């Protein structure tokens, strides 16, 4: 269920971008191969006709997979869910790239700020300068996940009540049909049964 929900969440997150960023023919890089982010996002991008490269913790020369391929700028779309704080730097990005940061990490904050700082897998300050679209952390994919889970929960609630009502009506219809058949059988039995003549 988590895989399906997360896939739906990420798909709906991409939906506004599909209108202004055509995914067909674009080069996409997914960093991370988890079953709740990397693998579903790879499939979703592929279904929208993007050319997808999946990288992970064992990928060699990871920056080169994002920045260059056959000496040309490569990643038009970058989805990161590797679980390593601020791993992707701004200099890795192609100008105008779409960056979706699905990571959430806790690092020590500065003395002037909070003791613990929440950051993503992308170094936001440097990536913001080059990206065309970028999701912040916090406040990016997280609220979308909550909103979509609420929508799915509402859909399941309505479906449950619909099926409950439907099953109740089917049950009533079945009971009525059973009672009618029982009454018909009783009537047939009474018309066919003749009491024996008993004389005392």
pLDDT tens for 154-194 read: 777 887 777 777 776 777 676 666 666 655 554 554 555 55
pLDDT value, residue 189: 47
Yes or no: say if 122 and 80 are a contact pair by the CB < 8 Å rule: yes
- Chain-centre distance for alpha carbon 45: 13
Q: How many CA atoms lie within 13 A of 121 on its CB side?
A: 19
* Domain covering 5-138, topology: Rossmann fold (3.40.50)
The residues spanned by each domain of the chain are 5-138, 141-191
Give the pTM: 0.68
């Amino acid at each position: 269920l988590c895989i399906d929900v997360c896939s739906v969440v990420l798909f709906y997150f991409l939906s506004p971008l599909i209108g202004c960023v055509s995914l067909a023919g674009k080069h996409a890089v997914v960093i991370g191969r988890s079953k709740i982010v990397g693998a579903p996002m790879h499939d979703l991008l592929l279904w929208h006709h993007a050319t997808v490269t999946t990288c992970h913790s064992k990928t060699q020369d990871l920056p080169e997979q994002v920045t260059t391929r056959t000496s040309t700028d490569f990643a038009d779309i970058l989805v990161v869910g590797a679980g390593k704080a601020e791993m992707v730097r701004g200099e890795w990005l192609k100008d105008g790239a779409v960056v979706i940061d699905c990571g959430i990490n806790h690092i020590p904050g500065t003395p002037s700020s909070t003791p613990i700082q929440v950051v993503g897998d992308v170094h936001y300050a440097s990536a913001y300068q080059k990206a065309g679209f970028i999701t912040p952390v916090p406040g990016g994919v997280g609220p979308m996940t909550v909103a979509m889970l609420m929508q799915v929960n509402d859909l399941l609630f309505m479906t449950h009540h619909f099926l409950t009502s439907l099953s109740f009506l089917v049950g009533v219809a079945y009971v009525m049909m059973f009672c009618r058949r029982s009454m018909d059988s009783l009537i047939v039995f009474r018309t066919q049964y003749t009491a024996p003549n008993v004389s005392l």
